[in-house]
Amino acid sequence: MSRNLRQLVSKKKRRYDDGEFNLDLSYITSQVIAMGVPAETFERFYRNDISEVAKFLETHHPDRYKVYNLCAERSYNHAKFKDRVEQFAMQDHNPPLIHTIPYFCTSVYKWLQNGPDYVAAIHCKAGKGRTGVMICCYLLYESYQGMREQEPTRLTADQVLDLYDKRRTHNKKGVTIPSQRRYVYYYAHVLRHNLVVESCPLVLRSVSVEGGLPSYPPSGGCCLFFRCQKLVRDFHQDNRSAHRPIGESEMCEPKRGQQSAIIPMSAPIKVNGDVKIVFYNRSKVLALCEELFHCWFNTFFVLNQPQDTPGALWRSRKREAAGLAPDEQDDKYLYLTLTKSELDKACKDKMFPDTFCVTLQFELPDPNSSDEDNPTDGLYRPFSYCSAPASSSAGCSTAAATASSPICAGALVDTRVASGPLSASSSSISTPAESDSEGGNCPVDGNGTDSRPRIELEPGCCGDEDLD
Using DSSP's 3-state secondary structure scheme, residue 397 falls into coil
Last residue of a domain, one of 314, 341, 363: 363
d(CA 21, CA 187): 35
Q: Tell the burial category of 162 from Cβ atoms under 10 Å away from its Cβ (0-12, 13-18, 19+).
A: middle
pLDDT over 70 percentage in the chain: 63
Looking at the fold, whether 54 and 116 belong to one and the same domain comes out as yes
> How many domains would you assign to the chain?
2
- Check residue 310 and give its pLDDT: 60
Looking at the fold, whether 131 and 269 belong to one and the same domain comes out as no
80: which residues sit within 8 A by CB, 6+ positions away?
38, 50, 51, 53, 54
Catalytic member of 124, 137, 228, 408: 124
Inform me whether the pLDDT recorded for 462 exceeds 80. no
- Check residue 212 and give its pLDDT: 86
Inform me whether the pLDDT recorded for 152 exceeds 90. no
Report if residue 411 sits inside a domain. no
Q: Are 47 and 28 in contact (CB under 8 A)?
A: no
The amino acid that residue 467 corresponds to is L
Number of neighbours of residue 313 by Cβ within 10 angstroms: 13
> pTM for the whole thing?
0.75
Report if residue 397 sits inside a domain. no
What does the mean pLDDT of the chain come to?
A: 74
- Which residue from 73, 75, 68 is spatially nearest to 93, judged by alpha carbons? 73
Looking at the fold, whether 189 and 225 belong to one and the same domain comes out as no
Looking at the fold, whether 175 and 205 belong to one and the same domain comes out as no
pLDDT over 90 percentage in the chain: 45
- Check residue 232 and give its pLDDT: 62
Residue 223 falls in the annotated catalytic set: no
Q: Which of 459 and 199 is assigned the larger pLDDT?
A: 199
d(CA 406, CA 401): 9
Q: Are 272 and 199 in contact (CB under 8 A)?
A: yes
Residues 209-233, mean pLDDT to the nearest whole number:
79
Report if residue 440 sits inside a domain. no
Looking at the fold, whether 39 and 111 belong to one and the same domain comes out as yes
pLDDT classification of 2: cutoffs 50, 70, 90: low
Q: Which of 236 and 113 is assigned the larger pLDDT?
A: 113
Dump pLDDT digits (tens) for 339-365: 999 999 999 998 899 999 999 999 998
Report if residue 390 sits inside a domain. no
Residue 290's domain comprises 197-363
Looking at the fold, whether 165 and 62 belong to one and the same domain comes out as yes
d(CA 419, CA 422): 9
Residues 313-321, mean pLDDT to the nearest whole number:
41
Q: Which residues does residue 444 pair with via DSSP β-bridges, in sequence order?
A: 450
Inform me whether the pLDDT recorded for 375 exceeds 70. no
Report if residue 51 sits inside a domain. yes
Q: Are 206 and 327 in contact (CB under 8 A)?
A: no
- Which residue from 357, 359, 360, 340 is spatially nearest to 349, judged by alpha carbons? 340
Inform me whether the pLDDT recorded for 398 exceeds 60. no
Listed in order, strand segments (DSSP E) in 22-118 are 22-23, 25-27, 32-35, 38-39, 48-49, 65-71, 85-90
Using DSSP's 3-state secondary structure scheme, residue 463 falls into coil
Q: How far is CA 90 from CA 109, 112, 176, 242, 291, in A?
A: 20, 22, 16, 12, 21
Report if residue 418 sits inside a domain. no
Report phi then psi at 355, rounded to 5: -85, 0
Q: Which of 446 and 186 is assigned the larger pLDDT?
A: 186
Looking at the fold, whether 291 and 356 belong to one and the same domain comes out as yes
Looking at the fold, whether 118 and 151 belong to one and the same domain comes out as yes
Looking at the fold, whether 173 and 240 belong to one and the same domain comes out as no
- Check residue 69 and give its pLDDT: 96
To the nearest 10°, report the CA torsion of 321, 345, 160, 183.
60
Looking at the fold, whether 218 and 295 belong to one and the same domain comes out as yes
Q: What's the CATH code of the domain at 309?
A: 2.60.40.1110
pLDDT classification of 324: cutoffs 50, 70, 90: very low
d(CA 382, CA 428): 32
Last residue of a domain, one of 166, 194, 222: 194
Looking at the fold, whether 219 and 339 belong to one and the same domain comes out as yes
Last residue of a domain, one of 194, 211, 239: 194
pLDDT classification of 373: cutoffs 50, 70, 90: very low
Report if residue 432 sits inside a domain. no
- Check residue 10 and give its pLDDT: 57
Q: What's the CATH code of the domain at 77?
A: 3.90.190.10
Report if residue 406 sits inside a domain. no
Q: How far is CA 145 from CA 298, 414, 441, in A?
A: 25, 8, 9
Looking at the fold, whether 167 and 274 belong to one and the same domain comes out as no
Q: Which of 252 and 12 is assigned the larger pLDDT?
A: 252
Q: Which of 51 and 322 is assigned the larger pLDDT?
A: 51
- Check residue 415 and give its pLDDT: 29
